[in-house]
Structure 1
Amino acid sequence: MSRRGVGIGAFANRTQTTQSWATHGANLRSTHTASLQTQLSVFQSLLHTFALEHSSTIKSNPTFRAEFARMCNTIGVDPLAARKEWPSRTGGGGSFWTQILGGDMNDFYFEVATRVVELCRETRSENGGLIGVEECRKRVGKGKAIGSGLEVSDDDILRAVRSLEPLGSGFSIVSVGSKKYIRSIPKELNTDQATVLEAIQVLGYVSVSMLRLNLKWEKARAQTVIDDLLADGLVWLDAQGPEKEYWSPQNLLDDSG
């Protein structure tokens, strides 16, 4: 009986100790969370002040603007997202850009996104709905000035495209090798297709025999991937040589400038 009493007492003590540690842990988590929220509020306040002081540079310098936007994202602030706690200068809610710079930057990204959509639709028959970000930036920047004559960077193009995603527009950013492309047709590239496009990026073109030799693919696999890319307009066929060669229209457009 005495042994059982000691055992029960020890069990009760362990239970009490466990509960005490659990309570202590919850208090620590609560304290840390409150501290982090306070630090985040301070960071956001400093970010707001910094943005107001350097608003002209943010507008005029695309590199500085890209770094500032990355800094915003690091602490959980999306410059293009509208939030209730970010009132615009004209009243009501607005994005972070609207709050600190008026509507100029919002209008800028809206116009960039509009031009990207128009360009993708115009060139879809040429490139199968896959256009390089660099080429897109060059072509979007031509003609009528955007906004107040602001220079457009690759980062601006990427942000404008990402701002379209909540609309279910089908526009997305895909990476092929070292390059980023805008995909304007809601269809994902599978692994084999991405591998072939990356090979074309390096070699200039591919053929079925090249894919079989370098990737150790069966003929049926190589031909199927090529046929799918050809059907989507992502590669062009050159049938003049002894073996059919497949070129990327996007690479040809990039090379021609």
Structure 2
Amino acid sequence: MSRRNARGIGSLYQQHSHDAYRRASERINEQQVESIRLQIATFQEYLVNFSQKHRKDIESNLEFRNRFTDMCNLIGVDPLNIERGSLFSNLTGLSDFYMSLAVQLVDMCVSTSSLTGGLVRVDDILQALSTKRRTAITLSDLHKAIKVLKPLNDNAHQYEIIPVNDILYMRSQPRQVNNDILTLLEIAHSNHGWIDQHTVHTHSPAWSTDRIRNSLRQAVMDDGFVWVDEQAPSTRYYFPSLFHDVVQSVV
């Protein structure tokens, strides 16, 4: 046999081996894909059934709700951001809970906006929601409810939690709250909920009279954050968002 024929036979053998390996690899890949598909389908069914079976526990039991959330996060499933038609689009319980919570949050913000200008203490909201739902609502729950509302943000409403020192406030109006207004809010918090020009000047001596007046005017006219009491010896400006019973009044 010539060397050329030997090389030809060797090439055919190598090609045959390569084809055999490729076919075997394809069969293995197909089997793996099918196995993964079955595992996902099984887990999907389990997760949906679990969420439906324990729906009441998810809604009423904080610890159970947190554990279920952790389980979803562990496998990369976000029950608050599930596209229709996706593998987990039938997942209920947790997503329904936060959708319902988001609706109640909007109702509270809208109901109190004429009083507070769309600025409410987060602690008051949590207390009111906990009372309304008869289960403990946490800051984490509130963040998730706000996430549900994010696609609804527009020129009329925007839901965001903002910190002022150690206190968190819910802002439900689109206008950004500037630093001067936040300073007025901080001063009012340390002064039983109200301020006047003298109080502001005492806490912020570097502020000019015009700056104080302009900030107070904006808080009243533009933002609607304060009420004006002209019956006092000096005009007082009250922040109703600091009143504990404002949110409770709409529960």
Shorter-normalised TM range: 0.5 to 0.7
- 1:159 pairs, out of 118, 127, 144, with 144
**CA shift in 2, pair 1:189/1:104, >3 Å:** same
**CA shift in 2, pair 1:70/1:125, >3 Å:** farther
User: Is there any run of 5+ residues in structure 2 with no aligned partner, and where?
Assistant: 1-39
Deviation at residue 197 of structure 1 after TM alignment: 0.7
Q: Which amino acid aligns with 1:181?
A: Y
- Is the 2:128–2:247 Cα contact (8 Å) retained in structure 1? no
Q: Which amino acid aligns with 1:106?
A: S
- Is the 1:235–1:249 Cα contact (8 Å) retained in structure 2? yes
Equivalent residue number for residue 197 of structure 1: 185
Equivalent residue number for residue 125 of structure 1: 114
For residues 83 and 194 of structure 1, the distance between their equivalents in structure 2, rounded to whole angstroms, comes to: 38
Cα RMSD over matched residues? 3.5
Q: Structure 1 residue 225 and structure 2 residue 210: aligned?
A: no
Deviates more, 1:189-198 or 1:171-180: 171-180
Q: Which amino acid aligns with 1:108?
A: F
**CA shift in 2, pair 1:225/1:68, >3 Å:** farther
Secondary structure of the corresponding residue to residue 163 of structure 1: helix
**TM-score, normalised by the number of residues in structure 1:** 0.62
**CA shift in 2, pair 1:72/1:228, >3 Å:** farther
Secondary structure of the corresponding residue to residue 103 of structure 2: helix
Equivalent residue number for residue 125 of structure 2: 136
- Is the 1:66–1:155 Cα contact (8 Å) retained in structure 2? no
Deviation at residue 206 of structure 1 after TM alignment: 1.6
**TM-score, normalised by the number of residues in structure 2:** 0.63
Deviation at residue 75 of structure 1 after TM alignment: 9.7
- Is the 2:65–2:94 Cα contact (8 Å) retained in structure 1? no
**Any residues of structure 2 matched to 1:25-40 within 5 Å, and which?**
none
Deviation at residue 82 of structure 1 after TM alignment: 1.8
Deviation at residue 217 of structure 1 after TM alignment: 0.4
For residues 228 and 136 of structure 2, the distance between their equivalents in structure 1, rounded to whole angstroms, comes to: 37
**CA shift in 2, pair 1:77/1:228, >3 Å:** farther
Q: Which has the larger radius of gyration?
A: 2
Q: Structure 1 residue 247 and structure 2 residue 210: aligned?
A: no
Equivalent residue number for residue 206 of structure 1: 195
- Is the 1:237–1:247 Cα contact (8 Å) retained in structure 2? yes
**CA shift in 2, pair 1:123/1:60, >3 Å:** closer
**CA shift in 2, pair 1:208/1:70, >3 Å:** farther
For residues 111 and 105 of structure 1, the distance between their equivalents in structure 2, rounded to whole angstroms, comes to: 10
For residues 217 and 74 of structure 1, the distance between their equivalents in structure 2, rounded to whole angstroms, comes to: 51
Residue-pair matches, total: 194
Q: Which amino acid aligns with 2:203?
A: N
Q: Which amino acid aligns with 1:61?
A: N
Deviation at residue 140 of structure 1 after TM alignment: 3.2
For residues 74 and 183 of structure 1, the distance between their equivalents in structure 2, rounded to whole angstroms, comes to: 31
For residues 174 and 114 of structure 2, the distance between their equivalents in structure 1, rounded to whole angstroms, comes to: 15
- Is the 2:79–2:94 Cα contact (8 Å) retained in structure 1? no
Equivalent residue number for residue 228 of structure 2: 237
Q: Which amino acid aligns with 1:152?
A: I
User: Is there any run of 5+ residues in structure 1 with no aligned partner, and where?
Assistant: 1-44
Q: Which amino acid aligns with 1:244?
A: T
Q: Which amino acid aligns with 2:87?
A: P
Q: Which amino acid aligns with 2:239?
A: S
